[in-house]
């Protein structure tokens, strides 16, 4: 069944309403340690939260659901642990279950899984391998609805804007749907139309994801090394950029301008008059998919020239343009015989700033000279190394990795293995590489792999070396040094200008007793919650015991005594019944918590 066809879960609205009312009237309803749940004001969002909690529990993440205090949303029948396969390694099983959770929760979670699959510096390779199997399995929406969206975006009838629009889409993703079309001037184009209501659905899921990530990072110690909050924030930025098709249009236009003087590189032109944040019209490119070329030997394609041009095209994006196509799989690369290359689909791109490019040059210089301290300094400048990282051990591990691959012949070097091992070292030392750098390295790995398939003798180092030397010369040029010196002097003067006032304010606060020391404690609120719950249960147990003792005394009294016309023994039996009901409720609460022992 397609993800899009999975029916939304149905939950009793009475229980949802009770939860919403209780949360509004008492914020501690969801546990004293939890962060504010603003989205509980919406019954629809609370339904979604319940669905997420139940799916996580079904696939073996019930302990996480309990730790963020969402276990109340999960029926007891779903709390059984899934049967583990003996031959599965621990991380393989986790990755497989994460994949199932993402597939069941829908397109937004599938895209989150796909984004996580590009972060080898954070997740173990076994999990990445499983997440890489995630695919957008979204059925196309009705083409008549797409035509309505086009008319709304362009504020004109479709027939006035286009000479022809094909009725069937050529591609359908979680955010947009693509159609072939033609303009009135005869140009062939492709139209990318945003799915209806997708922005509303994405923002609702992102709100829940951010809350869940904050809860994981704060209360689940095992999740902290994976930095869930920063991952979700990165995912949010990426997804919101993808929602705005004008961002993709601007990136496409910039790369087209950068390659306009190269007759053998083709980037589609943006039809600005037919593009809005909700739809994008691009020139249609001719050519065959690179997959077909990889299966073809000999004419009409010049494989060696194609390999060199493909590698050089991406090196130019990385080190000169600063913006690069971050999804270079063969399906997004079109080839026209004999050696012309076209790029399509700029929905996923990366940006290498001038400062980051300088750090990368230093990093590569450290690799070439085998100076691990230079590499460590470059990682620090990137903000990749955390306070928990032990620099000496990191340098030792990097030295071992560089020594392992430094002397190997280029033909034997497997770039994917190098990338995987380097990411493992980074992850082991609790360091996190900036997302755009990871995208760049992953794109370089993919392009190198494809280029080597085209030409096994390709000298990638020979292509890379002149660009690195040019970047080093540019950074050491007198004008560059003078500009950097002037900027540094401006910062120093700015500091000297404001420092006396800041020192005066600090001394005034100190003399008036205005200084405060704020102490934050971690992991004590869950303990307070458990103590509070235990004390409530103990008090409840005392009340039940009192009812039983009192009822026993009443039952053994003189049967002739009546209270308000009711025989005293009858009141004792009623007390027994009340105690039995309360006792069963207490046992059920303890049983649901999973803490019988």
What tokens does 537 get? Answer: 């249960």
pLDDT digits (tens, 9 = 90+) for 462-508: 787 787 777 777 777 787 778 778 878 887 888 888 888 888 888 88
At residue 194 the predicted structure's pLDDT band, cuts being 50, 70 and 90, is: very high
Q: Is the four-CA dihedral 39, 42, 46, 52 of positive or negative sign?
A: negative
- pLDDT given at position 75: 75
Query: Is pLDDT above 80 for 287?
Result: yes
Report the greatest alpha carbon distance in the chain. Answer: 112
Name the 3-class secondary structure at 247. Answer: helix
Name the 3-class secondary structure at 59. Answer: coil
- pLDDT given at position 82: 53
DSSP output for 488-503: HHHHHHHHHHHHHHHH
CA atoms within 13 A on the CB side of 118: 25
* Section 272-290 average pLDDT: 93
* Section 517-530 average pLDDT: 65
- pLDDT given at position 164: 94
**Which residue has tokens 């006396």?**
500
* Section 129-137 average pLDDT: 81
- Look at 10 and 325; give whichever has higher pLDDT: 325
Q: Which residues contact 83 (CB under 8 A, 6 or more apart)?
A: none
At residue 592 the predicted structure's pLDDT band, cuts being 50, 70 and 90, is: low
Query: Is pLDDT above 60 for 384?
Result: yes
Q: Give the active site residue among 66, 69, 205, 327.
A: 327
Name the 3-class secondary structure at 562. Answer: strand
At residue 16 the predicted structure's pLDDT band, cuts being 50, 70 and 90, is: very low
Q: Is the four-CA dihedral 86, 87, 90, 95 of positive or negative sign?
A: negative
**CA-to-CA dists, residue 304 to 299, 308, 338, 351, 440, angstroms:** 12, 6, 11, 29, 23
How far apart, in whole angstroms, are the C-alpha atoms of residue 436 and residue 441?
Answer: 9
pLDDT digits (tens, 9 = 90+) for 424-471: 888 888 788 888 888 888 888 888 888 888 888 887 777 877 877 777
* Section 536-540 average pLDDT: 80
- Look at 566 and 250; give whichever has higher pLDDT: 250
346 with 317: CB under 8 angstroms?
no
- pLDDT given at position 328: 87
CA atoms within 13 A on the CB side of 308: 10
pLDDT digits (tens, 9 = 90+) for 545-588: 888 888 788 777 666 666 666 766 777 788 888 888 888 877 77
* Section 178-189 average pLDDT: 95
291 with 328: CB under 8 angstroms?
no
385 with 429: CB under 8 angstroms?
yes
Q: Among this protein's residues, is 327 annotated catalytic?
A: yes
At residue 23 the predicted structure's pLDDT band, cuts being 50, 70 and 90, is: very low
pLDDT digits (tens, 9 = 90+) for 328-383: 888 889 998 888 999 998 988 989 888 888 888 788 778 777 888 888 888 888 87
Express as a percent the part of the chain with pLDDT over 70. 83
How far apart, in whole angstroms, are the C-alpha atoms of residue 496 and residue 214?
Answer: 39
Query: Is pLDDT above 60 for 84?
Result: no
- Look at 280 and 510; give whichever has higher pLDDT: 280
Strands (DSSP E) contained in 449-557 are none
* Section 193-203 average pLDDT: 89
Express as a percent the part of the chain with pLDDT over 90. 18
Pairing of strands 171-172, 164-165: unpaired
* Section 272-294 average pLDDT: 91
At residue 88 the predicted structure's pLDDT band, cuts being 50, 70 and 90, is: low
Mean pLDDT of the chain: 80
Query: Residue 7 gets which letter from DSSP?
Result: P
How far apart, in whole angstroms, are the C-alpha atoms of residue 494 and residue 490?
Answer: 6
CA atoms within 13 A on the CB side of 458: 24
- pLDDT given at position 586: 78
- pLDDT given at position 68: 81
This prediction has a pTM of: 0.73
- pLDDT given at position 76: 67
- Look at 152 and 376; give whichever has higher pLDDT: 152
pLDDT digits (tens, 9 = 90+) for 34-73: 444 444 445 567 788 888 888 998 888 888 888 887 877 7
- Look at 485 and 137; give whichever has higher pLDDT: 485
At residue 154 the predicted structure's pLDDT band, cuts being 50, 70 and 90, is: very high
**Residues 437-464 as b or e (16 or more Cβ within 10 Å = b):** bbbbbbbbbbbbebbbebbeebebeebb
* Section 116-125 average pLDDT: 84
At residue 148 the predicted structure's pLDDT band, cuts being 50, 70 and 90, is: very high
- pLDDT given at position 9: 38
Query: Is pLDDT above 50 for 20?
Result: no
Query: Residue 318 gets which letter from DSSP?
Result: I
- pLDDT given at position 511: 77
- pLDDT given at position 156: 94
């Amino acid at each position: 069944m397609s993800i899009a066809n999975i029916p939304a879960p149905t939950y009793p609205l009475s229980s949802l309403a009770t939860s919403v009312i209780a949360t509004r009237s008492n914020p501690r309803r969801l546990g004293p340690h939890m962060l504010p749940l603003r989205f509980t004001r919406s019954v629809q969002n609370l339904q979604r939260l319940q669905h997420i909690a139940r799916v996580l529990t079904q696939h073996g993440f019930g302990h996480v659901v309990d730790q963020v205090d969402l276990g109340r949303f999960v029926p007891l029948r779903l709390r059984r642990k899934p049967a583990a396969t003996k031959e599965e390694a621990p991380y393989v099983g986790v990755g497989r279950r994460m994949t199932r959770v993402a597939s069941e929760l829908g397109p937004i979670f599938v895209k989150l899984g796909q984004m996580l699959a590009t972060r080898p510096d954070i997740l173990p390779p076994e999990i990445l391998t499983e997440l890489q199997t995630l695919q957008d399995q979204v059925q196309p929406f009705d083409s008549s609805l797409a035509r309505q969206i086009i008319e709304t975006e362009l504020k004109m009838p479709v027939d006035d804007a286009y000479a022809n629009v094909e009725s069937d889409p050529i591609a359908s993703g979680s955010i947009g749907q693509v159609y072939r079309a033609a303009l009135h001037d005869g140009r062939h184009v492709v139209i990318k139309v945003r799915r209806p209501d997708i922005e509303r659905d994405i923002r609702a899921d992102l709100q829940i994801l951010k809350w869940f990530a904050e809860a994981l990072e704060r209360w689940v110690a095992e999740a902290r090394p994976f930095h869930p909050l920063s991952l979700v924030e990165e995912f949010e930025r990426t997804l919101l950029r993808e929602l705005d098709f004008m961002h993709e249009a601007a990136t496409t236009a910039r790369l087209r301008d950068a390659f306009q003087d190269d007759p053998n590189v083709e980037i589609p032109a943006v039809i600005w008059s037919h593009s809005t944040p909700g739809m994008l019209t691009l020139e249609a490119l001719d050519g065959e998919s690179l997959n077909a070329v990889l299966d073809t030997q000999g004419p009409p394609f010049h494989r060696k020239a194609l390999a060199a041009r493909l590698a050089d095209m991406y090196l130019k994006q990385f080190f000169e343009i600063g913006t690069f196509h971050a999804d270079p799989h063969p399906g997004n690369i079109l080839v026209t015989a004999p050696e012309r290359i076209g790029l399509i689909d700029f929905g996923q791109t990366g940006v290498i700033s001038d400062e980051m490019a300088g750090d990368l040059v230093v990093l590569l210089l450290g690799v070439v000279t085998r100076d691990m301290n230079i590499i460590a300094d470059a990682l620090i400048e990137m903000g990749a190394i955390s306070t928990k990282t032990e620099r000496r051990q990191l340098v030792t591990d990097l030295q071992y990795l560089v020594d392992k691959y430094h002397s190997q012949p280029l033909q034997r070097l497997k770039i994917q293995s190098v990338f995987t091992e380097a990411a493992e070292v980074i992850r082991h030392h609790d360091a996190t590489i900036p997302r755009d750098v990871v995208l760049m390295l992953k794109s370089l790995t993919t392009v190198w792999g494809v280029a080597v398939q085209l030409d096994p003798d390709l000298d990638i180092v020979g292509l890379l070396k002149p660009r690195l030397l040019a970047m080093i010369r540019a950074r050491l040029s007198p004008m560059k040094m003078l500009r950097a010196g002037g900027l540094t002097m401006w910062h120093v003067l700015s500091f000297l200008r404001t420092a006396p006032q800041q020192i005066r304010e600090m001394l005034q606060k100190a003399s008036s007793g205005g200084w405060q020391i704020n102490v934050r404690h971690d992991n004590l609120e869950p303990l307070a919650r458990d103590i509070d719950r235990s004390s409530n249960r103990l008090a409840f147990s005392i009340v039940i015991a009192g009812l039983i003792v009192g009822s026993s005394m009443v039952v053994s009294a003189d049967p002739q005594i009546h209270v308000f016309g009711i025989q005293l023994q009858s009141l004792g039996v009623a007390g027994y019944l009340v105690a039995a009901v309360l006792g069963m409720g207490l046992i059920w609460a303890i049983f649901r918590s999973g803490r019988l022992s």
